[in-house]
Structure 1
Amino acid sequence: RSVAAQLRQKLVEERCDILLVQEPYLFQKKVSGYGLTARVVQGGDVSWAAIVVLNRDLVVTRIDALCNSHMVCAEIGSVFGVFYVVSLYCQPSLDFERFMADLEKVVDTLGTKDLLVAMDANAKSPAWGGDILDDAGLLLEDLVFSRNLVVMNELGSLPTFSTVHGESYIDVTLSSCSFSRVVSNWTVREGWSTSDHRCITFTCGRMGYRKVRVESGRFSIGIPFINILIIGLMTSVWLVLGV
């Protein structure tokens, strides 16, 4: 709960549009802490992942067939078109192959559609940071390459996970080939919360557009950018800045 509270001011300052959350705070089986106007997509009564949409101009549709306790998928309609987002938590105590099967189902179902995946993978590979390759990382690598996905993590960035016992790169952002061209400014944020997982932010927007602020504090109509935050509340969080 405290992590969500810490982020509220940052969400306002950064004008965050979408949050992709793993291990969210639940109150009476509902993802909570983001305000009454936030639209939340969660997996069920026990939800280990969530999508929180703060921008009221975005159209959000839950894809029921691609949601479960650890993964949620939603269609996002914006001024520059439709794309799909996934928030996925790979729980270390469960079989990793289960999560790969779920993610594979998403990719195969959506086909060539624009897709963005934010995951607390609990998997290690030099493909997204560090110099360690473990069994889970190898399985995720295989899926990425076989399905022609793009790893959006910036090599050389801060580790996404940090505790007194050490740091590692276990949070992964993936996109379809087509959508990778409009994702920019992927950044690991230091000091945004006290979570063990650092927040990750990036911007989605069509090439050739400029981001212009108007007096109301909103982006000008027809100048589409989406700001996304990835957050691991108990563990990880991702923020989308500007859709």
Structure 2
Amino acid sequence: MPTVPIPLIARNARSGVNGTGLPEQLFHTAKGTEVFSQKHSRAIKIAQVNLGRRYAALQECLKTAESQGIAIILVQEPYVGAKAHVTCRHRVIQKQTNDTQKPVKSAVIVVDSSVQYTVNPDIITENIDACKFKICNHYVAIINIYMEEAQDVEQDLRIISNYRNILDSENIIIGGDLNAKSPWWGCDVEDRRGTAISESFAQLELHILNTGKTPTFWAHRGNRDYTSIVDVTACSNGLLNK
């Protein structure tokens, strides 16, 4: 897919958001992205994290983002309480719902109030957020997704591909909890879901930003530790190593 050179740089960065101190010591993290404007030499830090539906995790996430200058947070399984949607002191891009039977499971929290974005409510669901952010007169599309393990992975991938076309941007970042395994993002094995996602991302010419085999999920239950790599961040050619 052809790309148009733009004055942006994207590189791997630790999200800096974790869940230490959470109940059961459970948290997810994933690689984040720093998008730079050469004109203003300003880094737009983007983090991705699964909050495990914990209130304490949401509060710690916001506190960490504010202290580390993270502008945008892609969250999965956020704390929603009885309202079925995220409420916090920052702008939140999410499905507008009060249905506790189908609560919000993904949201984009815009911590930096100076960041501009456009949203089409028709392409936002409880599990997927799709929007475009304006960075130095250029648009970066962001898709944030929580992929249910029981959900048809092929259907989710079709939605991602469709949303990418709707967003109509050469520059795209996809982050989320994919509930899938693949060596492409550091797993020792590849399951059926991982194969499908890997093939789809390759067709979309997306590059995985996860590096190494550092787990993105930790949980301590009883006397056992549980780890996995299910949180993934990817970007398009135009944002890779510019």
Question: What TM-score results when the alignment is normalised by the length of structure 1?
Answer: 0.68
Report if the CA contact (8 A) 1:90-1:96 is conserved. yes
Residue number among 90, 94, 112 corresponding to 1:42 in the alignment: 94
User: AA paired with 2:96?
Assistant: G
Residue number among 126, 129, 133 corresponding to 1:72 in the alignment: 129
Report if the CA contact (8 A) 1:152-1:180 is conserved. no
**What is aligned with 2:26?**
none
Structure 1 residue 146: Cα displacement:
1.1
Unaligned 5+ runs, structure 1: 183-243
Report if the CA contact (8 A) 2:131-2:167 is conserved. no
Q: 1:181 to 1:111 in 2, by over 3 A?
A: farther
SS in 1 for 2:61: helix
Q: 1:102 to 1:113 in 2, by over 3 A?
A: same
**What is aligned with 1:25?**
79
Deviation per CA, 1:142-166: give whole Å up to 9, x if none.
101111111111124x200122352
User: AA paired with 1:174?
Assistant: A
**What is aligned with 1:231?**
none
Report if the CA contact (8 A) 1:73-1:85 is conserved. yes
Please tell me whether residue 166 in structure 1 is matched to residue 218 in structure 2: no
Unaligned 5+ runs, structure 2: 1-54, 98-102
Q: 1:128 to 1:30 in 2, by over 3 A?
A: same
Deviation per CA, 1:54-85: give whole Å up to 9, x if none.
11111121133422221001111123522111
**What is aligned with 1:52?**
109
Report if the CA contact (8 A) 2:215-2:228 is conserved. yes
User: AA paired with 1:172?
Assistant: V
User: AA paired with 1:4?
Assistant: L
RMSD of aligned C-alpha atoms? 1.7
SS in 1 for 2:184: coil
Structure 1 residue 30: Cα displacement:
2.8
How do 1:132-171 and structure 2 match up within 5 A?
132-156=189-213, 158-164=214-220, 165-171=225-231
**What is aligned with 2:239?**
179
Deviation per CA, 1:29-73: give whole Å up to 9, x if none.
3312x42xx111102313211011011111121133422221001
Instruction: Say which structure, 1 or 2, has more relative contact order (CA 8 Å, 6+ apart).
Output: 1
Structure 1 residue 112: Cα displacement:
4.9
**What is aligned with 1:125?**
182
In structure 2, how many angstroms separate the alpha carbons of the residues matched to 1:108 and 1:167?
35
Report if the CA contact (8 A) 2:132-2:167 is conserved. no
Structure 1 residue 20: Cα displacement:
0.3
User: AA paired with 1:162?
Assistant: W
SS in 1 for 2:185: coil
User: AA paired with 2:117?
Assistant: V
User: AA paired with 1:17?
Assistant: A
Q: Determine which structure has the larger helix proportion and give its number.
A: 2
Residue number among 16, 37, 43 corresponding to 2:70 in the alignment: 16
In structure 1, how many angstroms separate the alpha carbons of the residues matched to 2:123 and 2:210?
24
Deviation per CA, 1:157-209: give whole Å up to 9, x if none.
x2001223521111111111112235xxxxxxxxxxxxxxxxxxxxxxxxxxx
